[in-house]
Each structure stands twice: as C-alpha cells, then as structure tokens.
A = this chain, B = another copy of it.
Amino acid sequence: MPTTGKQLFTTLSADGKLTVEVAESQFPDPTGNQVLVKMEAAPINPSDLALLLGQADVENGEYSAGKLVATMPEPFHSAMKGRHDQRLPVGNEGAGTVVAAGDSEMAQALMGQRVACVPGHAYSQYAIADAAMCLPLGEVSSEDGASAFVNPMTALGFVENAKMDGQKAIIHAAAASNLGQMLVKICQEDGIELVNIVRKAEQEQILRDLGAKWVVNSSAPDFMAKLMEAIDATDAYYGFDPIGGGTTVDSCFKAMERVAVGKMKDYNRYGSNQPKRMFIYGRLDTGPTILTPSYGFGWTLSGWLLTPFLAQAGMETMQRMRSRVREGLTSTFASHYKKKVTLEQMLEKDAACDYRLMKTGEKYLVTPWG
C-alpha cells in the first residue's frame, strides 16, 4: 500500500519561471533492494542548490505557503533546456528510519534501522533509497548522519585521488567549509600535507584551531607570497577548488610555477617541467574560469565529481571509505548547521535568500517533520 507524505519539487517552465513547491506524494512499496525511509534530516548542499534554485531571482520572487515562484534569467534558462517543464524532486542525501523494505536480504536487514541514504529526493517526508548505498547509523542521530555521503566521501575522495596520483600534498580552496574542515582532519590522520586557501581572517582561525599548519588568506596583500611559501614547503602541485569561476585555479597554477621556476638553474621559454594539476569540483562562483598564459604548458585542469570518481576507484575502495565515514560521523566527519527548516520554511524568502548564498559555515538542515 503506497505511503503518503509531503515532498518538494522544482520545475523550470519553458517560459522562464522557476516554481518550487511542497506537494503531497505517493511513495510506492519498496521492491527488491529498495527501502522506504522516513526522512528526518537532509542538508542543503551547493550541489543541491544548482537544481533547487539555480540562478533564479529569488530576491524578487513570489512567496506563498509552501511555494516559491521566481524568474530564471538568461543565459541560465536556456542552458537548462533539458529540464524545462519537468517536475523534479531534489535533495541528494539525508537520514531517517527505514519503515519498509524490499525482498532482498540487504534491504530486509535495514528494517527499522536509522540510516544515512542518497535517494536524490531527500527533501521529502519519505524517500525510496538503494539499500546498497544506505549507511546504518546505530546510535548516531539522523541530524548527525544527514551529511554522511556528499561531503565526507568527497573529502576522502580527494585524498584517495591524490594518493592514486602519487601526491603527498594537496591545495584546497574555500577551505573553511564543512568539507574543508573534514579534509583538514583526514589529511592529519593520513600524513598528507594540506595547503588551505580561505578568504577571511576568521576562517583562517577556524582552520588553525583544528591544527591546520598551512592556511593562506586570498584577501591578504601577501597572498601569492604566502601561497608560494606553502607550496615550496609542502610540494603541493595538486589541488581542488569548489569556487570554479574567477582566478583561484589561476593563482594556484601561477604560484606552483613560480616555485618550480625558482628551483631551475637555466631560463626555459616553456617554463618548468613540474606537472601542475588542479580540479574544479564546484561552482560557488558561476562566472567563467580565467586561465592566464603564465605557467607554461605543464598543467592540467579537470572537472571533478564524486560519482565518476567512485566508479573509477572501484567497490573495494568505496567500501573502505564508507566504513571510515561511519566510524567518524561525530568526529572527523561531523557537520555543522546554521539553521533547521521544514520543507515549507525552505520556501520562505528569508531562508531562500540566505542559504542560496552558500556562505562558508552557514549550511541549512531540512527537517521535513518539523
């Protein structure tokens, strides 16, 4: 018998209006390896916001109970042609209690348990999830387990990827984020040097309080000098940037190259032989990425996403990563939230205008039962 509950949907109409609304949904009985989870908490991550609101003009939106309508400006409206007029559920991850399970042994074993899950429609009172991706939380609360996938696995993924590529040091931008704080702890545990780039003095302090050794402030006048000093000391020619737009990657490549050139004896018109590698894993800045021709040809920049990385890393690595996350949910992988909101409160103007800014350390948690 289907279960009824409230769920959030986002629709971008072909005429340029974005509608986000709470509606009643029917959740079918889970089959096979599926479980039905009564959702208790779900974070609003940057990776959710692209689908939830995108670049919609929420400042000038129309707000009513459980509903938000806003204009989607160009070029964003046209760029998302693929989703026009589709009513899409939102919310990558969350946590709750398994209230029904499919026939499979794996699904049945989770019955009644509190789990973290990755349903893709976590902003909902109920969600159908893949049992293979569920992480039993034991004594850990749903709030503490709500962010058990995206940030922990991404932070661990960076370190795994660096190790695969023979690196012993990493640069990380926007480093005071929840994810960045996890990365500080992981790198300490694994003996990986970490160069943290932040924008504000108070963010510097957050990371220093966690024991971070290398923290550089991109707003400081001596930013490049400090970044070069950190790269020189750590050999960090490998980094991850969630900002995407602007010159963060460019600054990293420049600093890497200047350090490498400083170690060369002779001038080489092509620059150093030091390979330089950066990854963009988010778009906190949706402006274009600017790469200046100032670091030769020995560099590579890629987009980075968790799912293809996990596919490439293989099941064994992924299971090892998941076990580590479960062990550290209230320590290494603990998340912090600025505010809790219900599904309806998500669609109030003050909230929407605030969480869409994705400010460091100001993450929202959705609690769909209030």
Inter-chain CA distance A305–B286, complex, in Å, is 30
Copies of this chain:
2
* Contact partner, A302, options B83, B283, B294, B299, Cβ 8 Å: B299
Closest to A303 in B: B297
Inter-chain CA distance A303–B281, complex, in Å, is 20
Does A16 belong to the interface (CB within 8 Å)?
no
Chain B residues positioned under 8 Å from A79 (CB to CB)? 294
* Contact partner, A82, options B88, B261, B294, B307, Cβ 8 Å: B261
Closest to A300 in B: B302
Chain B residues positioned under 8 Å from A75 (CB to CB)? 294
Contact status A303-B298, CB under 8 Å: yes
Closest to A281 in B: B297
Inter-chain CA distance A86–B264, complex, in Å, is 15
Does A244 belong to the interface (CB within 8 Å)?
yes
Q: Which of A20-28, A34-42, A266-274, A328-336 contacts B (4 or more CB under 8 A)?
A: A266-274
Closest CB-CB distance, A243 to chain B, in whole Å? 11
Tally of contact residues, A, Cβ under 8 A: 42
Does A288 belong to the interface (CB within 8 Å)?
yes
Contact status A291-B288, CB under 8 Å: yes
Contact status B296-A88, CB under 8 Å: no
Contact status A301-B298, CB under 8 Å: no
Contact status A305-B267, CB under 8 Å: no
Closest CB-CB distance, A311 to chain B, in whole Å? 9
Contact status B300-A305, CB under 8 Å: no
Closest to A275 in B: B308
Contact status A283-B293, CB under 8 Å: yes
Inter-chain CA distance A294–B75, complex, in Å, is 10
* Contact partner, A245, options B245, B267, B293, B301, Cβ 8 Å: B293
Closest to A276 in B: B303
A 291-333 to B, binary, CB cutoff 8 A, 1 in contact else 0: 1111011111111110110000000000000000000000000
Q: A83-B269, A86-B267, A300-B301 are in contact. List 13 more A-B contacts (CB 8 A).
A: A82-B261, A82-B268, A270-B305, A288-B290, A289-B291, A291-B291, A296-B305, A298-B303, A298-B308, A299-B303, A300-B300, A300-B303, A301-B302
Closest 9 CB pairs of A and B: A297-B303, A300-B302, A289-B291, A297-B305, A82-B267, A51-B269, A83-B267, A288-B292, A288-B290
Jot down 26 A-B pairs with beta carbons below 8 A, ordered by A. A50-B269, A51-B269, A75-B294, A79-B294, A82-B261, A82-B264, A82-B267, A83-B267, A86-B267, A250-B288, A270-B307, A280-B297, A281-B297, A287-B293, A288-B290, A289-B292, A291-B291, A296-B305, A297-B303, A297-B304, A297-B305, A298-B308, A299-B302, A299-B303, A300-B300, A300-B302
